[in-house]
């Protein structure tokens, strides 16, 4: 079968000369004779994405593997998004990164691709791109960082920033101690070491079949990551030779396996949005309700922050994702094939748990049924999500008075005021923070608790918003309310003082008011002004709601790997 890259390099005419001549630069002559697959390494290394800054070294090992298997490796810098730096929110740029990578893969003489990601949005954007081009593709997750310690206590990235800063606000930790902990938080290269979004999406990539099984969760500084990177480079060449494409790997069965995995690891709510977006690129039928149907009933086995105690290094030492999946192997669909050409379930034999305080056994789960609960009601007609594992059990059924905030600025201005009319039974509502409203659906849903309640010892309250929350955060937080307030969702009609009823067991989220009264109110469509130009304008005009993965409407589906018209 002719390689795709042959459309550029084969022949003896002016144009093939042109394509070859500029690419030679020391490449051997037989790089262009049509036998050696050209493998792009879509590399999100960037100094401004600190979690991915080591990926050039990973890319070097991938290259060695590609060469060893007879391919030609080519570095392709990919748009990189650093979760902690990028404003107004990294999520605003996920679709842009996906679009840019998709287009560059299609436009170039490439036969297959190795995707290098780590920080939250990078693996999702790479998978969305790969799904839409459908070139043979495989992921190497950059891996979590090692555990940092402060005053003898392990620090969880993200999770402990939220916890320690609340301790400062509550007056139980000095600001000096808080700032001293700063240099201990990030001990090594790699992404956040909690079961936040980066760790979750690495596990999702593996559960979808898009990594060599056993790769995800390998700590970034661990030599075994480079070994796996070498193996992945070799595999990429095989993928091209076998014609094994993402559409064959990421089937509905793989997505359902990913949902089971998400529940068993206690993964981030952000995975819901990302998996829906990836499925949308493949035309795989996947809905919000699949998360609830397939995920609830799955036991929570991984005792990692924010739902539990440990960190990613512990998970790897305890046996890693394969050991977790082996415990729930009966819940996985054996028909879902991985990049190896064999089913995911084939790769689980012999995966042992070495520390069952980190990976609990099936008979002794942390929670008998975990997963993501999908709520509906007159406040969220198209759905909202809550992660019971990260919530306070006593708040999962709750009735309280709404305290409504129209923006994060409004939260900052009023939350700590001694005059704010709020108590621990109140329900904090934040709106105007959805995909269109912010814009970009930032991680502000876990809004802080009012200082006066913190001082009283309150550590959790029901919070509701159209935003997301960091995968490293915790609390009884209802997120992704759809439609969002800025799209005219019912959240826009709630007022301070309204009785809100949350009933997670019944999967309901309602405001206890007559429908007519609600409908008669003028909606408060807060949010940012419509951007005048550029990406933000395109984004706001085309972004889908959270229940559709917050992709752009014209980016759903696939354009395949069609070779464009000649450039000269």
Tell me whether residue 185 or residue 389 sits nearer to ligand FES (CB atom): 185
Residue 145 vs 502, nearer CB to ligand FES: 145
Stretch that binds Mg ion, among 28-36, 113-121, 273-281, 483-491 (CB under 5 A): 113-121
Q: How far is the CB of 217 from ligand FES (least distance, A)?
A: 13
Piece in contact with Mg ion (CB under 5 A), picked from 73-81, 286-294, 410-418, 468-476 = 468-476
Check binding of 470 to Mg ion (CB under 5 A): yes
Least separation in angstroms between residue 191's CB and ligand FES is 4
All residues at 6 or more sequence positions from 22 whose CB lies less than 8 Å from its CB, including other chains? none
Q: Which is nearer to Mg ion, 426 or 446 (CB)?
A: 446
Residue with tokens 């993402």: 246
Q: Least distance (Å) from ligand FES to the CB of residue 270?
A: 11
Instruction: Say which entry of Mg ion, ligand FES, none residue 198 contacts (CB below 5 to 8 A, set by partner kind).
Output: ligand FES
User: Computed from CA positions of residues 249, 251, 254, 255, in that sequence, does the dihedral angle turn out positive or negative?
Assistant: positive
Nearer to ligand FES, 161 or 235 (CB): 161
- Give me the least distance between CB of 121 and ligand FES, in Å please: 9
Closest separation between CB of residue 52 and Mg ion, Å?
A: 14
The H or E element that residue 169 is part of is helix 159-170
The three-state secondary structure class of 229 is: helix
Q: Which residues contact 444 (CB under 8 A, 6 or more apart)?
A: 408, 411, 430, 433, 465, 467, 469
By beta-carbon proximity to Mg ion, the closer residue of 156 and 523 is: 156
Can residue 197 be called a binding residue for Mg ion (CB under 5 A)?
yes
- Nearer Cβ to ligand FES (192/404): 192
Residue pair 402/501 in contact by the 8 Å Cβ criterion: no
Q: Which of Mg ion, ligand FES, none sits in contact with 191, Cβ below 5 to 8 A by type?
A: ligand FES
List of residues 6+ apart from 331 with CB closer than 8 A = 260, 298
Task: Give the footprint of ligand FES on this chain (CB under 6 A).
Answer: 51, 83-84, 119-120, 157-158, 191-192, 196, 198
List the one residue from 102, 111, 120, 406 that touches Mg ion (CB under 5 A).
Answer: 120
Euclidean distance between CA atoms 196 and 201, whole angstroms: 9
Q: How far is the CB of 82 from Mg ion (least distance, A)?
A: 10
Determine, following the binding rule CB under 5 A, whether residue 83 of this chain makes contact with Mg ion.
yes
Could you write out the three-class secondary structure of 236-300?
HHHHHHHCCCHHHHCCHHHHHHHHHHHHHHCCCCHHHHHHHHHHHHHCCCCCHHHHHHHHCCCCE
- DSSP three-state, residue 330: helix
Provide the terminal-to-terminal Cα distance of the chain, rounded to the nearest Å: 26
CA 461-467-469 angle, 5° bins: 65
Encoding tokens for residue 382?
A: 């198209």
Smallest distance, Mg ion to C-beta of residue 97, A: 15
In the sheet that 427-430 helps form, which strands lie side by side, from edge to edge? 380-386, 373-377, 508-511, 499-503, 397-405, 427-430, 462-465, 477-478
CB of 444 to Mg ion, least distance (A): 11
Closer to Mg ion at the Cβ: 3 or 86? Answer: 86
51 binds, among ligand FES, Mg ion, none (CB under 5 to 8 A by kind): ligand FES
Rounded to whole angstroms, the Cα distance separating 298 from 265 reads 10
- Among ligand FES, Mg ion, none, partner that 192 touches (CB below 5 to 8 angstroms by kind): ligand FES
Q: Is 446 or 470 the residue whose CB approaches Mg ion more closely?
A: 470
Which residues sit at the interface with Mg ion, rule CB under 5 A? 83, 120, 197, 470
């Amino acid at each position: 079968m002719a390689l795709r890259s042959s459309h550029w390099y084969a022949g003896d005419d002016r144009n093939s000369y042109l394509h070859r001549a500029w690419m030679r630069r020391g490449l051997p002559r037989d790089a262009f004779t049509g036998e050696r697959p050209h493998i792009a390494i879509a590399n999100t290394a960037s100094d401004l994405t600190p979690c991915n800054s080591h990926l050039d070294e990973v890319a070097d090992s991938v290259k060695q593997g590609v060469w060893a298997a007879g391919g030609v490796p080519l570095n392709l810098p990919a748009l990189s998004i650093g979760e902690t730096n990028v404003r107004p929110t990294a999520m605003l740029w996920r679709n842009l990164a996906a679009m840019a990578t998709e287009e560059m893969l299609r436009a170039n003489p490439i036969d297959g691709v190795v995707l290098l990601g780590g920080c939250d949005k990078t693996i999702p954007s790479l998978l969305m791109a790969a799904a839409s081009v459908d070139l043979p593709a495989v992921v190497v997750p950059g891996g979590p960082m090692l555990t940092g310690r402060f005053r003898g206590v392990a620090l969880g990235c993200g999770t402990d920033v939220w916890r320690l800063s609340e301790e400062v606000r509550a007056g139980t930790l000095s600001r000096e101690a808080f700032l001293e902990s700063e240099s201990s938080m990030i001990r090594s290269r790699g992404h956040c070491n909690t079961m936040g979004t980066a760790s979750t999406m690495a596990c999702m990539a593996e559960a979808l079949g898009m990594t060599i099984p056993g790769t995800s969760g390998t700590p970034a500084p661990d030599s075994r990551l480079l070994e796996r990177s070498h193996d992945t480079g070799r595999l990429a060449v095989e993928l091209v030779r076998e014609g094994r494409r993402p559409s064959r790997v990421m089937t509905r069965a793989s997505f359902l396996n990913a949902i089971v995995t998400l529940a068993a690891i206690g993964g981030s709510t952000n995975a819901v949005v990302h998996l829906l977006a990836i499925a949308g690129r493949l035309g795989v039928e996947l809905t919000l309700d699949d998360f609830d149907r397939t995920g609830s009933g799955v036991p929570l086995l991984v005792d990692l922050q924010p739902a539990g105690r440990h960190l990613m290094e512990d998970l790897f030492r305890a046996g890693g994702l394969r050991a977790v999946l082996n415990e729930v192997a009966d819940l996985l669909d054996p028909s879902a094939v991985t990049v190896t050409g064999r089913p995911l379930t084939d790769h689980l034999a012999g995966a042992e748990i070495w520390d069952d305080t980190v990976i609990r056994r099936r008979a002794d789960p942390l929670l008998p049924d975990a997963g993501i609960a999908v709520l509906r009601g007159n406040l969220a007609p198209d759905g909202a999500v809550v992660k019971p594992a990260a919530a306070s059990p006593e708040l999962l059924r709750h009735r309280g008075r709404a305290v409504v905030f129209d923006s994060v600025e409004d939260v900052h201005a009023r939350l700590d005021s001694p005059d704010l009319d709020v108590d621990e039974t109140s329900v904090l509502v934040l709106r105007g923070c959805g995909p269109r409203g912010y814009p970009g659906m930032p991680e502000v849903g876990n809004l802080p608790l009012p200082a006066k309640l913190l001082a009283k010892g309150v550590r959790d309250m029901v919070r509701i918003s159209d935003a997301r929350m960091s995968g490293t955060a915790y609390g009884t937080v209802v997120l992704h309310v759809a439609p969002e307030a800025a799209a005219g969702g019912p959240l826009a009609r709630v007022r301070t003082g309204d009785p809100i009823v949350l009933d997670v067991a019944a999967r309901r989220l309602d405001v206890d008011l007559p429908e007519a009264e609600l409908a008669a109110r003028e909606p408060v469509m807060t949010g940012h002004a419509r951007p005048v130009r550029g990406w933000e304008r395109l984004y706001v005009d085309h972004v889908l709601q959270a229940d559709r993965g917050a992709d752009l409407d014209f980016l759903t589906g696939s354009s395949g790997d069609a070779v464009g018209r000649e450039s000269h």
